[in-house]
Structure 1
Amino acid sequence: MSLAVNPRFIPPAASTFVFDPDLVAEGRRESVPRYGDPIWSVLALTQNPSAPDDCIRWHWFSGTFRETFRFAAWTLVNHPLADQELARHGIAMRAKLSAGRIMRTVHQWSIFAAWLDERGITRLADLDTEGLADFAFYLAKTRGLSRNTASGHLTGLSRLHYYGRSFLPPSDRLVEPPWVAEGMDDYLPAASPLGGENSTEPITPATMGPLLVWALRFVEDYAEDILAAHDERRRLLNAADAADGPLLPDSGDALEAFLEGLEAEGLPVPVAARRGNPLAGAGIYLAAVTGTPRSKVRQVMRKPHWRTYTAQNHGPCHLGTPVNATLDAEPWHEPFTFDGIDKMVRHLATACFIVLSYLTGMRSGEILGLASGCCPDPEGPPAEAGRHLIYGRVFKIATDEYGNHDSAGVVREAPWVAVPQVVTSVRVLERLGGDGLLFAAEVHDKRQPERRSGRSLQLSTLNERIERFIEWVNTHAENRERESEMIPQDTHGRIGAGRFRRTLAWHIARRPGGLVALAVQYGHMRTLVSEGYGSRSRGGIHDLLDFETARSVAEHLSEVHEAIQDGEGISGPAARRLIHSAAQEHHRFGGIITSVRQARSLLADPNLNVFENKDTFLFCNYDRAKALCHPGRSGKYEAPSLDRCKLNCANIARTDTHARQLREAADSLVRQASSGLAPEPLADRMQERAQGLSELADQHDRKRVLAGMEGHL
């Protein structure tokens, strides 16, 4: 059915499709709404597999403006903005919007319509430019919207004005907003310090560490047990389907014999608890293990004798697959049950998502767009094969030949580098999902509506599953008396899927020589990230790494400056450089980096390339020509290798705080060596190490200088 042509500003008939069904995949055409429907789903407009099921709900609008904005929304969906409007006004907007942006724009219009209702305005044409300026003030002052959010509202009204001139009747045309000619700055609230990904709080190390440890346990240790039990459940489901058929006189004999055998030995009848009723839901299991049609199972189980026996003697539907993985030499889980394994499969898939998110830096939507086969094994003999690479699509920056958003995404120019734990996660998901998307909705959430067939799980679903995973882990750890391994609540709230990417950047920037949450070396990850992302300016984790590195440098230098002002002493070949760098950073940035532009400005200044190495209790005032961590000192090394610090390097500087930490570390080693618990050779090495740390602290005390003395260095 084609769309109605609209030459004279006449709305389509109520039965007309909102957009052309022929443009939608055949299996999704039923989800295309009709013009008169109370709810318009725009899901069929997008090819992004992780797109949420966005809907325009016409109860957002009062009767006064409902049909006005329904027609405006219809034009928004079906017609691009005229080229002359884009060219004449130079506006920063695309000719056509994505499905999600269409829904948000119409919702923004609903807020505008409610504001008009409150003022008794019944036609868009009756509002003048002063009224639009009042609405901009209302967004900023009354509703308290951020600058970015308010900008979206005003852009939506600009679009309504442009579409009105081309498609809407005179009574529904909005006057040109004043910000079109004057610019938006005067109509928006003050800029927020941070925006986008940079405003997302990283997950605290106290939470991220155990969360990653448990996710890796699931992926690397528990996956085989869960997958084997999952396969057995699928075999039972297939057996139950195969047993269904015409009922014969002897159809229930095998089940009766099975139950009589249980009764003779005093064994429980396997049941699957459903909604608090322990006698419900075992039909499929009993049908599978006895080869009885499910309808016959229900008949037999309703017999008074078996109802009574089952009520008094019932137990879980145990699967036959063993639990092989251990935790402290004990099976990590009790035997799996027919009705419980699905929950464990969900936790396994969630663990895979956590590992993929945190150890690649991919955006959540990019992970949900991955398909089976995305991470092929490298070609060639194992000793010569390269690293695994992940080939996927990017969606955020994808555009078509006309500059409009391409909801199908584009293939990423450079693939993601995958560490072994990531490869294992991909392989687990491939075994769960077959040949489709790794997180296909029909595989991982069969309760999803049919219109999500061929799509992936939604981010909101994954966010909820991450919380359920943490709850399961904490209950499991408490039951096993492993409270020290519980995942503590994050100080910034729920663990959203989008926070892993920011957390990876935070860790790489701040702990380049340590371990990524007890599992993967940060230094190794930094190498992989630089190889995988370093050459690209868009679409990777590049900007986040710059931002977090600069924040770390700025915070450390500002703290050093304040400590120097309070009388802290500095020692080392680079002491004077550290004092000057700290003062310069404090003057320029004050320890606060709020944008990627500031981050790049700081990192581009060689005087501010100062990195703290907490493992060796020093600051590296990085000068590539003097660095001993890169023996060749060729031009390709733009950052220090803090895992290769040399004590005689000219880039080293220490503070009084570092000297105090050196003595504390030495005292701790002495206590361990003297405890009698360490073998003698190890105790000797501890004593030797403690002596070396103490000598470094003594050397600092002898050579320390204060800020006013740096001219004597």
Structure 2
Amino acid sequence: MTSALANEADPYILPAPTPDSPVVLPQWISPGNTHPNSRYRDPVWSLAPLIDNPGTSLVAIHWKNCPASLRDEMKLVTWALINGERRPTFLRTKGLSARGRGSAPTMMQKYYEWFRLARWLHQRGISRLADCTEDQWRAYAGERRDEGISRVHAEMVFGYFTDLWVYDLLSARPAGISCPPWETEGIDDYLPAADGADTAENSTEPLDPQVLGPLLIWALRFVDDFAGDILAAWEEQRRLMDVAASNTATSASRTALKEYLLPLVNSGAPLPAAHVKGRLYLARDYVAAHTGATHAQIERLVTRYKIQDLVLERPAPCPLNVTVTGEIEGRPWREHISFGEATTLMQHLGTAAAIVIVYLTGMRPQEVQALRSGCCPDPDPTTDGTTGRHLIRSHHFKNVLDDNGNHASAGEVREVPWVAITPVVRAIRVLERMVPEGELLLSAAHHDVHRPGGKQHQGAIRRTSLNRRIESFTVWVNREAEVQGLTGQAIPEDPYGAIGMSRFRRTLAWHVARRPGGLIALAIQYGHMRTVLDTRTSSGYASRSRRGLHSVLDVETALAAADTAARFRDRAVAGEKISGPAARRAVTTAGQAPRFEGRLVPKTFAKKATAFLARDGVVLYDNPDAFLICAFKHDNALCEPEPGATAPRQYACKSGCGNTVRTDTHAHQLRSRADEIDELAGHVPGPIARKLQANASRLRETAATHDATAQTIEALT
């Protein structure tokens, strides 16, 4: 009775579950979540009732993975994890980011570690959690630490073990597991030594420019040039498949089939073939649609005349009745689209559209996965008759909390919409033609083109699947580039690994910060993005206030500026002379600028980067297209930066600006570029040649001015 009264008085203690108790209690399931709820007695517990994010995999707990001797106790504490809330008194000891409840994926991470511990205990003959004493905690922590995990990962894992103790105390029948010793002694002595490789730091590398350039070119080709042909071919292919499926076996259909196939068999002519899972087969649906025969009739004929062997020897494409209008390099990109090929092209079209959106918006992958048809309506005309910007209204998920301060799986509609530039709008319009109205643009069910009408998947295509599709897209592009004679547009391997959805956001910031003149495709679009990003207004691009892509851009810009200062300092120390109205300011700045070693970026660096860039007049920006360094001072700038901008509009650099700095290296580059222009001028018509030669002369004059006015670093300090 005393225990019952204590439990009743303590709102954090959960009631004891029965075999029929739901795995997820009703109060934790959102009204729109329709996923089936498991029962306590079930061998598999689905956590889908806790998942409302369309980009999150529907995970489940499989109790067969837990040792039988510890299963009952682990079920109770895991049920407490799913339905309980950690006490506020405990959370106050864990910092501001600690939450009473976590997300389903986080619960799964804890469950994996708990089961791993359970198997370790079972191997040592321990069959009760209460027997996991301080000695066992120390031994297991030492083994887990020595497995090669990083310091930050180890701290997270040991926190999961602390939660095993915490949630056990929330159970109506606690198993009595002891408090891990690091909770009283401190955790430092249990962690691996810091080695600078912790995964909690942002070590995601941007895509190499030589990779991103052709990848983006081909993605835009699909969206802008190929989409109409592919969608029309897909519709025609589905029509033929529907016709084939509705055929009825008759003597007339059998006769038509023989009259169609047997002359091809007997004459040695090629036979209609299609690829299925990478292998050639007789295009049965194509043949059925053109003859009225059923699959059974076709199969009997194939077996009787051994047609499958003949197909492998002499396959023929099956052209769809669709006129190809798209072009590549000024010529049609296909004579026709074949039956079966439309399936592959549809998958690549969806992948291409996703690449365009994720890269040219700066969205996180899960934000792209949450986009729905209708998210980017055409803007209404403004009062002056011009057309406003396209805005994307959708959900974001990172750090979104419910009214109780816990993780909200469904996210929330972003207060400030994303601004969509033209290529993004086109990509969205293509995806809207691929899914029903109001559906997720990357709906897994509608993008499973290899099995139309088959198993209906939940939510959006998962990130791992999107990553595999990008790899497949790259393989197709490289094969097509060779066929089209465009080997210079093939996509090379990235030096830092596979192309994945998570790398595009970092890459956008990298290229805006470091390739302002556009050394890869869409230079104008990069310039447009930089302009919008610099406004820092409430309608800013891809951000909520100063968060979102602004912080990523600030990090990349700060790193780029520090690299510029370091190179400038090294050149000056090596004896190069310096010219320009901001030369003295640049020398002082370079002497004080930090030098960043390596590529790891701590999470705390974003605020430091913003503060670093806000120092008007003492930040150096490289502009390789203008052959200069800009010691950006807002009031001096002739590039007309937006009010409050902390970086120049490098693509709008103007001569005579008071922020200009040049070194001997820049002068050499100016002359080299002038020589290249002169060589080009010798191969073009007269009027164009004269303009090019005038441009080359201006570059040489700029180099000569540098030579006449440049000073050493000693003279400037």
Q: TM-score range by the shorter chain?
A: 0.7 to 0.9
Instruction: Give the match for residue 113 of structure 2.
Output: 108
Q: Does the 8 Å contact 1:161/1:174 carry over to 2?
A: yes
SS in 1 for 2:405: coil
Q: CA RMSD of the aligned region, Å?
A: 3.4
1:81 is matched by which residue type in structure 2?
Answer: R
Residue of 258, 270, 273 corresponding to 2:272: 270
1:105 deviates by: 1.1
Say whether 1:666 aligns with 2:674.
Answer: yes
Shift in Å, 1:524: 1.0
Number of residue pairs the alignment of both structures matches: 695
For 2:367, the aligned partner's letter is E
Question: 1:596 aligns to what?
Answer: 606
- Contact 1:68–1:172 at 8 Å: present in 2 too? no
Distance (Å, rounded) in 2 between the aligned partners of 1:404 and 1:9: 18
Counterpart position of 1:641: 649
Structure 2 counterparts to residues 93-242 of structure 1, below 5 A: 93-116=98-121, 121-129=126-134, 132=137, 135-140=140-145, 142-167=146-171, 169-175=173-179, 177-179=181-183, 184=187, 187-189=190-192, 190=194, 192=196, 198-242=202-246
Given that 2:134 and 2:178 are in contact with CA atoms closer than 8 Å, whether structure 1 keeps it comes out as no
Q: What pairs with 1:201-600 in structure 2 (closer than 5 Å)?
A: 201-244=205-248, 247=249, 250=252, 252-259=254-261, 268-274=270-276, 278-280=280-282, 282-299=283-300, 301-302=302-303, 304=305, 315-380=316-381, 384-435=386-437, 436-445=439-448, 453-514=457-518, 517-518=521-522, 520-530=524-534, 531-533=539-541, 536-537=544-545, 540-586=548-594, 594=602, 595-600=605-610
1:662/1:273 CA distance change after superposition, 3 Å: closer
Partner of 2:588, secondary structure, is: helix
The letter of the residue matching 2:23 is V
User: In the superposition, relative to structure 1, how do residues 155 and 643 fare at CA in structure 2: closer, same or farther (>3 Å)?
Assistant: same
Which residue pairs with 2:623 in the alignment?
613
Q: Per-residue CA shift, 1:224-266, capped at 9, x if unaligned? A: 111110010121222234335xx55555454445446767998
Q: CA deviation at 1:643?
A: 2.5
Distance (whole Å) between structure 2 residues aligned to residue 297 and residue 708 of structure 1: 88
Structure 1 residues 704 and 590, CA, compared in 2 at 3 Å: closer, same or farther?
A: farther
Q: Equivalent of 2:707, from 683, 686, 701? A: 701
Aligned counterparts of 1:249 and 1:364: Cα–Cα separation in 2: 55
SS at match of 2:548: coil
Letter in 2 for 1:654: R
CA distance in 2, matches of 1:391, 1:26: 20
After superposition, the Cα gap between the structure-2 partners of 1:671 and 1:39, relative to the gap in structure 1 and judged at 3 Å, is same
Kindly state the Cα deviation for residue 693 of structure 1 after the two structures are TM-superposed. 1.7
Indicate the larger mover: 322-331 or 358-367: 322-331
- 1:554 shift after superposition: 0.7
TM-aligned CA distance change 1:243 to 1:591, over 3 Å = closer
Aligned-partner Cα distance in 2 for 1:253–1:560: 82
Residue 642 of structure 2 is aligned to residue 627 of structure 1: no
Gaps of 5+ in 1: 1-5
Moved more, 594-603 or 266-275: 266-275
8 A Cα contact 1:574 1:650, kept in partner: yes
| TM-aligned CA deviation for residue 292 of structure 1 | 3.7
Cα distance in 2 for partners of 1:475, 1:358 equals: 23
Please tell me the residue identity of whatever aligns with 1:490. Answer: D
3-state DSSP of counterpart to 1:620: strand
Equivalent position amino acid for 1:709 in 2: A
Percentage of identical aligned residues: 39
Letter in 1 for 2:379: P
Q: 1:107 to 1:490 in 2, by over 3 A?
A: same
Contact 2:418–2:543 (CA under 8 A) maintained in structure 1: no
2:113 is paired with a residue whose SS is helix
Change over 3 Å in CA distance of 1:376–1:29 after alignment to 2: closer
Matched residue of 1:352: which SS? helix
Kept in 2, the 8 Å contact 1:125–1:170? The answer is: no
CA–CA separation in structure 2 for the residues paired with 1:581 and 1:88? 43
- The answer as to whether partners of 1:441 and 1:454 remain within 8 angstroms in 2 is yes
Of stretches 519-528 and 11-20 in structure 1, the one that deviates more from structure 2 is: 11-20
Q: CA separation of 1:253/1:370 partners in 2, compared to 1, >3 Å: closer, same or farther?
A: same
2: distance between equivalents of 1:357 and 1:581? 36
The answer to whether the Cα contact below 8 Å between 1:441 and 1:448 also exists between their aligned partners in 2 is no
Look up the equivalent residue of 1:689 and give its one-letter code.
Answer: N
Go from structure 1 to structure 2 and tell me whether the alpha carbon gap of 1:100 and 1:27 turns closer, same or farther (over 3 Å shift): closer
Instruction: Name the CA distance, whole Å, in 1 between partners of 2:91 and 2:452.
Output: 40
Q: How many angstroms does 1:648 deviate by? A: 1.8
Whether the aligned pair in 1 keeps the contact of 2:168 and 2:175 (CA below 8 Å) is no
Paired residues of 1:158 and 1:177 also in contact (CA < 8 A): no
| 1:150/1:27 CA distance change after superposition, 3 Å | closer
Can you list the C-alpha shifts for 1:460-515, whole angstroms capped at 9, x where unaligned?
Answer: 00100101111111111122332111111100010011101110010011123436
Please list the CA deviations of residues 51-78 of structure 1 after superposition, one character each: whole Å capped at 9, or x if unmatched: 1243434454444434432332222112
- Taking structure 1 as reference, are residues 25 and 242 closer, same or farther at Cα in structure 2, changes over 3 Å only? farther
How far is the alpha carbon of 1:132 from its aligned partner? 3.8
Tell me the equivalent position of 1:657. Answer: 665
Deviates more, 1:695-704 or 1:257-266: 257-266
Structure 1 residue 706 displacement after superposition: 2.0
- For the residue of structure 2 that corresponds to 1:52, the secondary structure is coil
Displacement of 1:533 in angstroms is 3.3
Give the Cα–Cα distance (whole angstroms) in 2 for the partners of residues 539 and 105 of structure 1.
29
Matched-pair contact (CA < 8 Å) for 1:147–1:192: no
- What is the CA–CA distance in structure 1 between the aligned matches of 2:171 and 2:67, rounded to whole Å? 22
Aligned position for 2:3: none
Residue 645 and residue 90 in structure 1: after superposition, are their counterparts in 2 closer, same or farther (change >3 A)?
closer
Rate the CA distance shift 1:265–1:424 in 2: closer, same or farther, 3 A.
farther
* Partner Cα distance (2:111, 2:232) in 1: 48
- Residue in structure 1 matching 2:694, options 688, 703, 710: 688
Letter in 2 for 1:101: T
What SS does the aligned partner of 1:270 have?
strand
Q: Name the TM-score, length of structure 1 as normaliser.
A: 0.88
The alpha carbon displacement at 1:150 in A equals: 1.9
In structure 2, what is the Cα distance between the partners aligned to 1:58 and 1:101? 18
Specify whether residues 230 and 539 from structure 1 end up closer, same or farther in structure 2 by C-alpha distance, changes over 3 A only: farther
Q: What is the CA distance between 1:426 and its match in structure 2?
A: 0.6
Give the whole-Å Cα distance in 2 for the aligned partners of 1:226 and 1:196: 42
Partner letter of residue 545 of structure 1? L
Residue 43 (str. 1) matches residue 44 (str. 2) = no
Q: Look up the equivalent residue of 1:288 and give its one-letter code.
A: A
Cα offset, 1:339, TM superposition: 1.9
Gaps of 5+ in 2: 1-6
Any idea what the Cα deviations from partners look like across 1:673-703, whole Å, max 9, x if unmatched? 3xx3122222222222222222222222222
| Alpha-carbon distance in structure 1 between the residues aligned to 2:308 and 2:238 | 28
> Is the contact made by 2:474 and 2:491 (CA closer than 8 Å) also made in structure 1?
yes
- C-alpha contact (below 8 Å) 1:554/1:591 kept by paired residues: no
Alpha-carbon deviations, 1:355-393, whole Å to 9, x = none?
Answer: 111111011111111111111011138952211111110
Provide the C-alpha distance between the structure 1 equivalents of 2:663 and 2:558, rounded to a whole number of angstroms. 21
Q: Could you say which residue in structure 2 is the equivalent of 1:74? A: 79
Q: Secondary structure at the match of 2:434?
A: helix
> Is 1:679–2:685 an aligned residue pair?
yes
Please state whether the residue corresponding to 1:167 is helix, strand or coil: coil
For 1:243 and 1:25, locate their aligned partners in 2 and report how far apart those are by CA, in whole Å. Answer: 44
